[in-house]
Chain A
Amino acid sequence: MADEKKPGLFNKGGKLYWLHSSIDAFDTFLRVPGTVTAKGAHVRDGIDLKRVMIMVVIALVPAALFGMYNVGLQTSTLYNLEWGFWHMFFYGLLRMLPLFVVSYVVGLAIEFGSAQIRGEEVNEGYLVTGFLIPLIVPVDVPLWMLALAVAFSVIFVKEVFGGTGMNIWNPALVARAFLFFSYPSSMSGSSVWVSKTWVPELKGIDAISSATPLAIAHDGGLQALDAQYSFMDMFWGFIPGSTGETCVVAILIGAFLLIWTGVASWKIMVSSVAGGLLIGWLGQLAGATELPCYYQLVMGGFLFGSVFMATDPVTAAQTETGKWIYGFLVGALAVVVRLWNPGYMEGMMLAILFMNTMAPLIDHCVVSVHTGRRAKKALTA
C-alpha cells in the first residue's frame, strides 16, 4: 500500500523529494523499513525507538485514564454536581482530548518541519513528550498557552540541539516550566487544579479555590491536611493536581512496565524515592515539616516525576553509578524545595530540570574516577 502511495514523485530526484522525511515517517509508521544491514552486524535486534517510545506511552496510559476520571471527580465533588462514574470519566476525557490534540499537532508539526529541514527521518521522541505534557499541566490551561509552551520546548529545548537524543533538558518539563514562569496565574495557586470550563451549570460561577495537598500542608501543616485528605486519598489519587500525577497505583503500574521492559532505569526511580524519603525524614526531625516522610511520595508530582520524567534516558545520567547519584539528588532536591522554600511548594519540576543540567557533570565525575582507577591498576600491574 504505502509503496503505491509513494511513487517516483517522492523518490530521490522526484519533484516532491523534499517531503521525503514526512513521507518516510508515515511509511515506516505503518511498516518496518525494508533497509538491510550494510556494515557491522548482519542481523539486528527487533527493538527500535518506535517500540521503546510506545512502551513509555503504554506505561503512561493507566495514569492518564485514572487522571481523566479524577478530573471529573474533582469537578463533581467541588461543585456538588453528583455525577456518575462515566460522566466523570467522559468529562475528563473530553477535557483532556483538546490538550492531547494541541500537544501532538503542534509538537509533531515542528518535529516534521525540522526533520524536513535536516533531511533526516522524523524522530519518535515526541510520541512520549506529547503524551506527557497534557498530564502535567492544569486541565483548564488555555490551549494557546499550551501550544506556545509546546512550541517553545520543542524548538528551543530539542530541535536546536539536534533533536531527540541530543537534548539536555526533558522537553515536557520545560514546557511546564515555560508555562509556570510565563503565565503563573494559570499555572499555580489554588484554583487552577480543578476544571470548571465546559460545565454549563457552572457558567458565570466563580472558581472555587481547592488547594492541592501540598499547598494545604504547606500552609496548615499535617492537621489541616488530614482534615481534608487522608493518606489513602492521596495514595489512590482522589485529590486535585495535574492529571497524571495523583494516583500512586497507576504510576506504579507504569513503573513496573518501564522496569520490566528495561526502558527506564529502576536505579533512578529507587534512588529518587530514597532521596525524597531521607530529606523528608530529616525535615521532619529538623522541624521543617510535620509530615511523615512517606507523605512526600504521595503528594504532588513526586512519584510521577521520579518514574516518568527523571528516568528519561537522554537527559538522565548515563553511567550506572551516575544514575544512583542523579536519582538520589532529584528526590532529595525536590523535597528540599518543598520544605524550605516559602513561595513554591512543588519542587519536582525544578529538581529534575536542575539535575538534567547536572547529569553530564555527574557522569564526568563517575567516568573520571573510573579511568583514574584503571590508570592506577595499570601502574601497579
Chain B
Amino acid sequence: MLNNLKNHKKHIFVAFSFVLAFTLLIAACAPGGGDGGGAGGEQKIRVNINTEPFSLNPGLANDTTSGGVLLQTFEGLTRIGKDGEPENAMAEEIEKSEDLKKYTFTIRDATWSNGDKVTAQDFEYAWKWALDPKNEAQYAYQLYYLKNGESANMGKASVDEVGVKAVDEKTLEVTLENPTPYFLELTAFYTYFPVNSKIAKENPNWYTDAGDNYTSNGPFVMTTWEHNDKIILEKNADYWDNETVNLNQIEMIMVNDPNTELSMFDNGELDWAGSPMGTLPTEAIPSLKKEDRLNIEPIAGTYWYKFNTEKKPFNNVNIRKAFAYSINRDAIVNNITKGGEIPGMAAVPPTMIKENEKGYFEDNNVDEAKKLLEKGLKEEGYGSVTDLPPITLSYNTSESHAKIAQAIQDMWKKNLGVDVKLSNAEWKVYIDKLHNGNYQIGRMGWLGDYNDPVNFLELYKEKGGNNDTRWHNEEFASLLEQSATETDEKARMKLLKQAEEILMDDMPIAPIYFYTNTWVQNENLQDVVLSGLGDAQFKWASLK
C-alpha cells in the first residue's frame, strides 16, 4: 500500500510537471503584444479588407481585395480623379492619334520607393510580362486591347509584337487593336500598372512579401505584410505628388466576418466598415439607416436572373418576359435588401447610362405579365400554367440571395400562379452548373471592370464564355461590332443603346437591381474617393 501511494505521488508529480511544461510551451508561443490604436490626430486609419489579397503583383492580381491595396501603392499612366474622370498620373502628357488607335505617353519625373526612376520600360515590361503565356496572369485579357495582345497571350504571336514600346526612358508608344474610347480609363486599372523592371528581372518573387524588393510608385508604400492578418501602408515620401497625401498610415486588417467588422467599428477599432473594402452585415442595415449612419453610393453593377433560353419553357420570349415583368423590384429593394439599391429594368447600370434609372419596361407590371404568359403558353402549346414543365430557380448559397429568391418565388406564385422550386449550391458547383447550361433560371451579377456600357453588353454577344443564357442575336452582335470601330462618342453611345434595347426586348436576362456600396465611416475621415466602379482611393483622404 505504502509503495503504491508513493508510486501514486510520483504519477502526480509527473503529471504536474507535464502541465507546467505545457503552460510554459504555451506561454512561449503566445502572440506578441500589439501596439495600441493610433489617435485621430496622427493621420492613421484602420480599415478592413476581409481577406488576404490574391497577389500584390499588379500583373497577377485579379480580385477586388488585391486591387484595393494596389490602388493605394501603385500608380498607372492615369488615375481616376476626384471627379471620376481619368487624369494624368505617371503620364505627364498624352497624345492620341486621329483614329484613336495610337497613344504616346510621356512619363513624368517620378521614382520608385527605393529611389529608382520610373521609366517607360517599366510599363512595357509589366504589360508584356502579364501577356506572356508562361506567366500565369488571369487578368491578361484586360490587356487584349493592345495590338496583338490576345494573340501573344494565346501563343500565336511573339510578345515582342505586342503594341507597346518604350521609345526611350520617357516615351511610351501604345498601339491598339481597335479604337477604344475608354482606353484612358483602362490605364488607371491595376493590370496596366508599371512594375520596377530592375528588381523584377533580378528577383522573380519580388511581390510575395513586404521589404526591400517590394517597391511601388504610388501614394503609399507597403511596410508590413503579415499574411492572413494585416497589411500596413505608409505614406510614400518619394511619391511625385506627395504634398497631396495627408494620411501617414493605413492599417488594413483581414477579418472576414461582417458582424465582427461592424463590432470593431463600433468599438473604435476601425475607421471604416462596409464596402468597397469590407462588408456590412445585411441585418444591420435598417438600424444603421435609422441611426443615420449609413452611407450609400450607387456603383456600376447589376444583379440579374439569367434564363436558359435553350431549356423549356424559357425558350419562349413571352414567357421570359412574363417572369421578368411580374417581379416587384421596388418591394425587394425597399423591404429586403434595403441598401438603397435601384430597381433594375435595364442591363447597364445608371452610373454609366443615366436614363437607365427608368429602364426599358415597367416594374411589377402584373397585368402585362399575365397577358404575355397567356400568349407564351399558347405559342408553346401549353393549355394552362399547370402544364408548364417543373421550373427551378437556382442560386449560389448566401443569405441575401436566398432571401431574394424566396421573395421572387412568392411573387411568381401570387402574380402568375406558377410554382417554382428553389435550389441552392456551393459557389463553384453553381458556376459549373451555369456554365454547362444545367439550369433554368439562375442568379448572377456583374460588376463593371471599366466604366463603359460595352462591358455589360458584350457578355451576351456570343454563346458560351460568360453568356450562360445561350442566347444569340445577330443584330445585337453586329451593333456591338459597329460600336467597336465607331470613333464618334455620340454615335457609339447610340449604337450601344440600340443593342441594349434588343437585349431587353428579348429578355435572356431579367435584371433585378443595380448594386450600391453601403458603409459606415469615422466622421472625421474625409475625401476618400470612391469611383463608380466601386473602388476606394485614399490618396486625398485625411482625418479632421
Does A pair with B?
no
